[in-house]
Each structure stands twice: as C-alpha cells, then as structure tokens.
Structure 1
Amino acid sequence: MSSLHHLHRPLGNSGLQVSPLGLGTVKIGRDQGVKYPNGFTIPDDASVRQLLAQARDLGINLLDTAPAYGNSETRLGPLLRGQRQDWVIVSKVGEEFDNGLSSFDFSPAHTRYSVERSLQRLETDYIDMLLVHSDGNDVDILQNSGIYQTLLALKQEGKIRGFGLSGKTVAGGLLALEQGDCAMVTYNLNEQAELPVLDYAAEHGKAILIKKALASGHACLAPGADPIRASFELIFAHPAVSSAIIGTINAKHLSSNVAMAAEVIQALR
C-alpha cells in the first residue's frame, strides 16, 4: 500500500511538517450550497472515524476545516480525542454559514470570538494554521478590517501557530504572504492565475496550501490522459506547495489519490 509517511514536507517556515495531501472536511459538516458535481450524504460518526483512521494510516496528517463547513469542527473535536498530536489542523475565520447562506464578518471582535469558538469545538488549545476565509475582496480585508493584527495577537498568545489567507486574487495572496505565514490558493489544470503567489512563497519560505486541486473539467487533457495524475504533476512540480487539500469522504478515492500523489512526487524527485 502506498503511503505519504516518508513524503512530509515543511509548512513554509512554521516549523510544522505536513503530508502533501490534506483531508478537507466540508463534506462531514454540510451538504447545502456546496459545488460538487454529485450529491452525497453526510457520513455518520463511525464512517468519519474510519475515514480519519484510514487517512492517518496513509500518512495524511493535515486536516482542513472551517466554521463555514456546517458542523465540521463540532464533529471533529470528539472524533480526534486523544489524537491531537497526530494532526496539523487548519481552520478559518471570516465566513459563517447558517440556514444554507454564507455571511462574512472580518472585524477584530468577531475574529477573536470565532477563534475561541473553534478552539472549543475542536477541543484543543491551539490551531496550527488559521486562514481568513475571504469573500473575494482580499486586499480590502487585509488592509482595512484589522483582522491580520488580531490574528498576530492570537499567534503571540499561542492560540494559533500561524495565519494567512484563503483568498481569490493574486494581490491578496501576495499581501497575505508578505504579512503572514500562509496562502491557500486555487491552482489546477484549469486555473493557474495565482501562480505568482506560489512563486513568491517559494522565494520567501512561506506556506502554500492548494484548494480545488482536482477541479472538474479536465477536457483540456489529451484523450486517455489521467486527470488526477496530470493535476498532481502540475501541483507538486512547484517547490512552494506544502499540501493539496482533497475533500473526499470516499475511502477508495482517498487511497487511490494517495497512491497517485506518492508516485508523482517520487517521480519528480
């Protein structure tokens, strides 16, 4: 069985080592307003416990969650009891999700409230990487809301180990890395506009997490090409990439993604 245990890499200059694939947990928390091609059923606790154990066995140590992922954080807390030291947890701040609708609040007061709430839900004293869940106005949020100053204070208090932005623009990503530790960017076969953010991160030792790594719409590939392999070849060829987040609840998909990522990364070495 292929695993990622021996392929962990630095999460920028945070001092943390992470698996090249991270497990995204939106599907354990909400099934409304999600942009997946196929419908799915939110798995029960036993299934999620099994998925987490499988991920750990495959060498995955990075979990991606958020307050906007329904009750994802609330479920993860009890399911991770006794395992906190085995996981690097990424969560977010800024976006709330209630009754099928998103709303945003980037104020210092809400930021502090949200982080304290995430700590309670996740049953932990610290979050490894806390990202601003942008509504698309990346630069305005970072420059005018006071959110980054609040996150810096929370880092100094030891409640978060690093902070950054899950954004939508090159300017936002660059600003996020200049003043913070990490940028989560969209980078896949269809969308590579944020490449300058990856280049900046590589030059400055900052962390890059990839979202939407396996974006649907692989029509641009030659017939017979494997879209998962091609996606991973693109992503892991870039030296800045710490980890790509895969949001699956399917055990077979998880193990085949891990096997492919391991194969691609070893071939690139």
Structure 2
Amino acid sequence: MTDLKQLHDLHRPLGSTGLLVSPLGLGTVKLGRDQGVKYPSGFRIPDDAEARQLLALARELGINLIDTAPAYGTSEQRLGPLLRGQRDQWVIVSKVGEEFENGQSRFDFSPAHTRLSVERSLRRLETEHIDLVLVHSDGNDVAILRDSGVYETLAELKHEGKIGAFGLSGKTVEGGLLGLERGDCAMVTYNLNEQAEKPVLDYAASHAKGILIKKALASGHVCLAPGTDPVRASFELLFGHPGVCSAIVGTINPLHLAHNVATAAAVIRSIR
C-alpha cells in the first residue's frame, strides 16, 4: 500500500499533454543560482552529494516533476549528470527567453534564440527530449506571444520531437489566457497573497489545459493568523481548484520537502 504521506498514487494529467505529473514538482533554481532570487533568507547552493540526496528523496516521496530553466544559473548543467540513468522517471520542465549572466537577466524571444536555447538545454540535461518548455516571460506576455515568433518556433520543435509540449510562464491574465489558447500549459502565480490570475486557472479547467503553479507558498513570505499552518492553507487553496495540476516548490531542505509532500497528500486526499 502506498504511504499516505506520499504522492505516488496521486499523479494527475497535465491538461491534454499526455504527461502524468505529481501534484508537487521540485523547483531547482536553488541548485544553480543564489543571486537575484526573491527569498526571505539567504541560502547556500547544495553540493552534488546534497543535491543527489534531495532528488532521491523527491523520487521516494512520489515527486516526478522537475522544473528548471537557463535563467537558473547552473541548474540545467548540474541536473544532466545528477539524473543519469533516471531520465525515464522524471517529467522535466525547462524554459526559453530569459538568460541570467553576470548577475543580470536579459531576454530574447526570437526564433533563433529559442531554438538555440532548447538545443542547449537538451545538451545540458543530457536528454533527447524535454517534456515541457515554457516561455520565461519578462511581463510583456501578449506582445511576446503575438510578435516574437517564440510560440511558432516551439511548435516546430514539438513537431520535431525535441519537446513534448509548450506554454507560457507569464505574469498577466491576458497572457495566460492567450498562452493556453495557443499552447498546452501555463505557469501562473497563485497563492494566499496573490490570486489575480485565477481566470487562467478557470479557463484551463474548462479547456483541458495544463496549469503549473509558481510561488505556491509565496516564496516563503506568507503570513497568517497564529496557529494556522501556512503550507496546509496554501495547498487547500491550490488543490481546491480543479484547474491546478501541480505546484512547484523550490525547497532544498529535506525536512521542508517531506513536510510539503505530507501536507499536500493529506489535503488532496481530504478533497478527493
């Protein structure tokens, strides 16, 4: 029997992509970048042994979804070797559009850079196929989708079999809706503090599109009444919405990860 504090039997479809994902995904920005990240306290990037243990724990707890990006410093380069021999056990999400160099982000959504970025990610991740690629928006969601050619290029890469699905990690309702209309998935901010993008979740639920949640725990900034578990309250909000497929949590603390999984499992089972 599956441990009730694990997620193995709680995997669900990511919209109509054909992918089955755990309700929590592991965000890996902290494996590769400690500059310009919006967390309430500093942290040390884990070494390879610590990262390997974290990934093993995630698998043991039933997590099969990993979220990375070129903008996450050395995250992709580290994940390639760390996931050797395990590729078929993971659904990998990466991104295009944002580069992080010398402590600064820059954006390029052109077709040429989109293709270069995906092919570089394939090499770094030591794989022939990335399950889902999202456009890492700078906030100008609609203009990016309409004018840059990035979605058209991702559609070509999907046709070529290099990626399985594509979508938008955006910052606006309009962008999220357009991203879903023309793509497979959207990554949206939705938490106890910020719920403005709820219409994107509603659209996804009624059109069988995928939704990933970023900043699910408000990057550690949630404040609630004394005695209220902020993690449980967050997951009750998220998994109470039928559009939510998976929430990305970026912890590198094994105890936090186990607590997040146990809480999510209990919440999901209580509302099934």
TM-score by length of 2: 0.97
2:31 maps to which residue? 28
2:72 maps to which residue? 69
Instruction: Give the secondary-structure state (helix, strand or coil) at the position aligned to 2:163.
Output: coil
Instruction: Give the secondary-structure state (helix, strand or coil) at the position aligned to 2:177.
Output: helix
1:248 maps to which residue? 251
Counterpart CA distance in 2 for 1:88 and 1:159 is 14
Give, in angstroms, the shift of residue 224 of structure 1: 1.4
Counterpart CA distance in 2 for 1:11 and 1:197 is 15
Q: Which amino acid aligns with 1:4?
A: L
Aligned-CA RMSD value:
0.7
Q: Which of the numbers 221, 228, 234 marks the counterpart of 1:225?
A: 228
Q: Which amino acid aligns with 2:63?
A: I
Q: Which of the numbers 155, 180, 183 marks the counterpart of 2:186?
A: 183
Alignment identity in percent?
76
Give, in angstroms, the shift of residue 217 of structure 1: 3.8
Give, in angstroms, the shift of residue 181 of structure 1: 0.2
Q: Where does 1:36-115 land on structure 2 (aligned, <5 Å)? A: 36-115=39-118
Counterpart CA distance in 2 for 1:62 and 1:139 is 27
Counterpart CA distance in 2 for 1:233 and 1:222 is 16
Q: Is the 8 A contact 2:137 2:168 kept in 1?
A: yes
Q: Return closer, same or farther for 1:217/1:36 CA change in 2, 3 Å cut-off.
A: closer
Instruction: Give the secondary-structure state (helix, strand or coil) at the position aligned to 1:202.
Output: helix
Q: Where does 1:116-265 land on structure 2 (aligned, <5 Å)? A: 116-215=119-218, 216-219=220-223, 221-265=224-268
User: C-alpha deviations, 1:18-54, integer Å up to 9, x for none?
Assistant: 0000000000001001111111000000100000000
TM-score by length of 1: 0.99
2:11 maps to which residue? 8
Counterpart CA distance in 1 for 2:114 and 2:221 is 35
Instruction: Give the secondary-structure state (helix, strand or coil) at the position aligned to 1:161.
Output: strand
User: C-alpha deviations, 1:156-204, integer Å up to 9, x for none?
Assistant: 0000000000000000000000000000000000000000000000000
Instruction: Give the secondary-structure state (helix, strand or coil) at the position aligned to 1:148.
Output: helix
Give, in angstroms, the shift of residue 93 of structure 1: 0.1
Counterpart CA distance in 2 for 1:92 and 1:217 is 25
Counterpart CA distance in 1 for 2:103 and 2:6 is 37
Give, in angstroms, the shift of residue 225 of structure 1: 1.1
Q: Is the 8 A contact 2:40 2:221 kept in 1?
A: no
Give, in angstroms, the shift of residue 223 of structure 1: 2.7
Give, in angstroms, the shift of residue 218 of structure 1: 3.0
| Count of residue correspondences | 268
Q: Which consecutive residues of structure 1, in runs of 5 or more, have no partner in the other structure? A: none
Q: Which amino acid aligns with 2:182?
A: Q
Q: Which amino acid aligns with 1:265?
A: I
Give, in angstroms, the shift of residue 222 of structure 1: 3.0
Q: Which amino acid aligns with 1:103?
A: R
